[in-house]
Structure 1
């Protein structure tokens, strides 16, 4: 008996992504439906998305990445969902793999991990811990939900089997170092706040231990030196991000102890 083809919803959460959203959506046109949940863009992101066939919803009540991903999943109607960000594009290889999956049975106890080829200051990184950079983004809509994480959200997939795909996202991670650093600082603040709420603390020396370890791991253990000057710069960026995380956590501890 021939299996019925599964349907696919591609889901995108956005805010002020007019510069990037067109190419993202053009790579998604093979889906049965494309849904965009915007959290209050003041640019033309929603209008561009509508012109390219996406169903657009607006929700300005931001509660974190995990909850926002679950909100958009609630709008989906297809068998499988694929989460994608505005700065990601679906390669032709990944599109072909997904089409093969749609022709199979419903993967009730399976989720799919997709590698990302990350772009950093003019170079697609092959080392530095940035490739293959698997993210779990393709799964059964009815069987899996996102955790309520503020940042670096993750799917709650329990004991489901994780299947790694070969096709990849291209990810425009960092085209502008200043904007990237601003985003990293924002993430560091959220990370420190989450740890403070969980009563996690750090001392002054641990700031430097973790910072030095972050550089060493990226440049030497993850072979960042093979990514040339971008690998060196990324090692410093990772060290700076780590420094910010632990410094903010240490400051919070100091202020709370007064």
Structure 2
């Protein structure tokens, strides 16, 4: 029988003092917690240390994918659980994770259903649930290099869904959420531009309209009530920002201003 695997919880954070305590309490049972701080100006590092977290500093910001790779290098556990400060591991999810640690399977990674909060409501539709993300995995797997929308490079691994949810406090403050969405859109556009990607004005609007209809109709966002309608508009706006920014970068490059 295999020995129980050691679990390292790995996090990247900046200015998350308000959210961090509840997050850390939900994973206090892990063998170690690693936090890579990206130059916080609040009490994030101090709060983490008070909870027994191993805190490291990184003043540079290479993008989400590379930053997660950097943070994972400090982990010593056999298995990695990658989470963010605005996420909480539920009791049912903890039980599922502990069963995996007791009986590990070779060449296997594990997906987790996120329960996303949007303006006071945990969404059940709109493409926001179960919103599976692969977050539990052996330490020899790593995240890709994407600046945003990063994900685990699962290679040929078998992906097994776990029981239990990861609560994600996605949107508590609408203005802050919008600012983050705009930053994601800008980073997405810059990365695509650097890869030589382009888009037409038609693509800007076709993708925008498609995003709205996909959220509201295909993903049954209307069943999430007022929040579902608002999220449909937000997704459309985010999509517009991404493609409009890419179009603008291409226009500027064509005119020699970049």
| C-alpha distance in structure 2 between counterparts of 1:103 and 1:232, whole Å | 43
Measured after TM superposition, the shift of residue 72 of structure 1 is: 1.1
Quote the residue 1:116 is aligned against.
114
Q: Deviations over 1:135-171 (max 9, x none)?
A: 1110001x21121111111111111100011211000
* SS in structure 1 of the partner of residue 163 of structure 2: coil
Q: Which secondary structure state, in structure 2, belongs to the residue aligned with residue 166 of structure 1? A: strand
Q: CA deviation at 1:108?
A: 3.1
Structure 1 stretch 55-64 or stretch 128-137: which is displaced more? 55-64
Q: Secondary structure at the residue paired with 1:19?
A: coil
Q: After superposing the two structures, state which structure 1 stretch, 210-219 or 197-206, moved more.
A: 197-206
Asked if residue 102 in structure 1 is aligned to residue 140 in structure 2, the reply is no
Distance 1:250 1:99 in 2: 47
Match of 1:172 among 158, 169, 174: 169
Please list the CA deviations of residues 218-244 of structure 1 after superposition, one character each: whole Å capped at 9, or x if unmatched.
Answer: 000000000000000000000000111
Structure 1 segments (4+ residues) deviating >4 Å: none
The residue number in structure 1 matching 2:90 is: 91
Give the structure 2 partner of residue 181 of structure 1: 178
Shift of 1:121: 0.1
What is the DSSP-based 3-state SS (H/G/I as helix, E as strand, rest coil) of the residue aligned with 1:201? coil
What pairs up with 1:198-209 in 2 under 5 angstroms?
198-209=195-206
Structure 2 unmatched runs, 5+: none
Q: In the comparison of the two structures, how many residue pairs are matched?
A: 255
CA distance in 1, matches of 2:38, 2:203: 36
Q: Which residue number corresponds to residue 220 of structure 2? A: 223
TM-score by length of 1: 0.97
Which residue of 1 is the match for residue 20 of structure 2? 21
Distance 2:199 2:69 in 1: 32
Q: Which residue of 2 aligns with 1:3?
A: 2
RMSD of equivalent CA atoms: 0.8
Question: Displacement, 1:3?
Answer: 2.9
Residue 61 in 1 paired to residue 60 in 2?
A: yes
TM-score, normalisation: structure 2: 0.97
* Distance across 1 between alignment mates of 2:9 and 2:167: 16
CA deviation vs aligned residue, 1:145-200 (integer Å, no higher than 9, x gap):
12111111111111110001121100000001111010000010011111111111
3-state SS of 1:165 partner: strand
| Matched residue SS, 1:18 | coil
Task: Give ranges in structure 1 of 5+ residues lacking alignment.
Answer: none
